[in-house]
Homo-oligomer: A and B are copies of this chain.
Amino acid sequence: MIRSLTLAALLATATALPAQTAPAPPPPIVTDARVAALRDAALTDNYAWEITEGLTTEIGQRLAATPAEARARDWAVRKLTAMGFKNVRVETFSMPVWTRGAESAEILAPFPQRLVVGALGNSASTGPEGITGEVIGFDSVDELRAAPDSAVRGKIVFIDNKMAPTQDGSGYGQFGAPRRQGPTIASMKGAIGIVVRSIGTDHHRNPHTGATGFANGARPIPAGALTIPDAEQLQRILKRGKPVRMHLTLVSNARPDGQSGNVVAEVPGRDPSLAPILVSGHLDSWDMGTGAIDDATGVAIAAAAAKRIMDTGQPLRTIRVVWFGAEEPGLFGGLDYRKRHGKEPHYAIMESDFGADRIWRVNFKLGEDRKQEARTIGAALAPLGIVTGSYEDADGSDIGPMIEDGLPAIGLSQDGTRYFDLHHTPDDTLDKVDPQQLRQNVAAWTTVLAVLSGGIEEPKARKRR
């Protein structure tokens, strides 16, 4: 919003200035009629819905390195093959696997009642008998860090930490700290367990899970997330000033010998010597919901856009669709792809991993020499209500490390206002996907691919030659 207003203000000023001091207007950018037609046709897309509906219904949750994720890979290979993609294959890799068991949290005193809790990924297991301890509450990771070890030792730490919705999802970095760092700090101070207020923006009795970890040699301890209403309840109970005792059960299992994999499929380009375009999402999900917005829609959008190009004809450059495995526990799929292919040239890399509400912004990191190409894409996206953000920055989850390596990237930003209501919760289910906004996503991706792919040769034209 601010960007647009500034630009509008500048243009208004420019018009008012004498002609000789006004900067030369940029050359006009007219969107190629075939690109515009592909974009507009994608607004009636059904491929992305079919993939999202099929994957979430026929597989459901797809926790990394579990049999459910393996079934999802089989499903993906069948689906992508049936859609007509070429070179459909799985690139497998090994990784540790963490799975969830029984979970409960019970206030024993002063006000006996049960709270709703879910273990964070990589939590230690309490065993079925659970643990019991006094609760000590903090409002932030910094407060916990500042507390003397003696105040924390032998206790169950609780970190309250409010997160508010933002369109760009930027709150997740800052407000995710209790989940990411809290367990390590609590463990190093001698806590026997930790529960954090769910890193989310809703008010439902559904915990937000997500990966945690134990750094600096910290001994793993049981670590869970209370739902937001339960965290508020615990906060109210603590504020009564009486000692609060909790019985916490977070059963889980961790073993080193899991297997996951990336599913790869291609629309071969007319010139195989040219660097491919990578479009992606991640196939795995957390285990609480059916992984609809995180990230069935992501793999669906990427594949649907590539399929729409394929339906039109053969692109000059190869489009490579990758459905990454095991993003959630720590970008395992992205890192495996990087190890195998990260040194190969890529024309651009893209990932959809922020739900499927409408795309409101495009960011580019294609380099200064490709700015005109970026402007062409930005102009073609504008009729979808998409604003051009940065020319120097783009992001993605699995592809993040490769962007840091310097591979050229484009980021299409979904509206994240309600994303953290659902993210990593049991509520991440198909009914949360808005089919019309999903289509706008496909239209945006199709537009980008139509420009990037270097010209699509239609079947008839090929025949005529």
Contact = CB atoms under 8 A, between A and B. Distances in A.
A205 B426 contact: yes
Interface in A95-141: 110-114, 116
B426 A116 contact: yes
A229 B430 contact: yes
A203 interface: yes
Contacts of A111: 57-60
B237 A57 contact: yes
A150 B233 CA distance: 49
A432 B431 CA distance: 22
Given A229-B429, A233-B429, A430-B232, A289 B113 contact: no
A78 interface: no
B113 A60 contact: yes
- Could you say how many copies of this chain the assembly holds? 2
A101 to B, nearest CB: 12
A237 B71 CA distance: 16
Q: For chain A, which range describes its interface: under 10, 10 to 19, 20 to 34, or 35 or more residues?
A: 35 or more
B430 A289 contact: no
A304 to B, nearest CB: 20
Given A58-B111, A111-B57, A427 B205 contact: yes
A236 interface: yes
A8 B345 CA distance: 74
Contact of A431 (B60, B71, B112, B229): B229
A206 interface: yes
Contacts of A427: 203-205, 229
Nearest to A426: B205
A425 B111 CA distance: 21
B204 A57 contact: no
Contacts of A426: 116, 205
Contacts of A53: 236
A297 interface: no
A290 B114 CA distance: 10
A59 B110 CA distance: 10
A61 interface: yes
Contacts of A68: 112-113
A427 B205 CA distance: 6
Contact of A232 (B110, B204, B431): B431
A53 B235 CA distance: 13
Given A57-B233, A58-B111, A236-B57, A289 B431 contact: no
B290 A233 contact: yes
Contacts of A290: 113, 233
Nearest to A75: B111
Contacts of A114: 60-61
Contacts of A203: 427, 429, 431-432
A59 B71 CA distance: 45
Interface string A423-447: 0011101111000000000000000
A233 B113 CA distance: 31
Contacts of A61: 113-114
Nearest to A429: B229
A237 B237 CA distance: 43
Contacts of A112: 60, 68, 71
A116 B426 CA distance: 9
B57 A429 contact: no
A73 to B, nearest CB: 15
Nearest to A287: B114
A4 B290 CA distance: 47
Nearest to A228: B431
Contacts of A233: 56-57, 60, 290, 429-430
A35 to B, nearest CB: 35
A237 B57 CA distance: 7
A111 B425 CA distance: 21
Nearest to A203: B431
A258 to B, nearest CB: 18
Interface of A: 53, 56-61, 68, 71, 110-114, 116, 203-206, 228-229, 232-233, 236-237, 240, 288-290, 425-427, 429-432
22 contacts: A57-B233, A57-B237, A58-B110, A58-B111, A58-B240, A59-B113, A60-B111, A60-B113, A60-B114, A60-B233, A61-B114, A68-B113, A113-B290, A203-B431, A203-B432, A204-B206, A204-B427, A205-B288, A206-B206, A232-B430, A233-B290, A233-B430
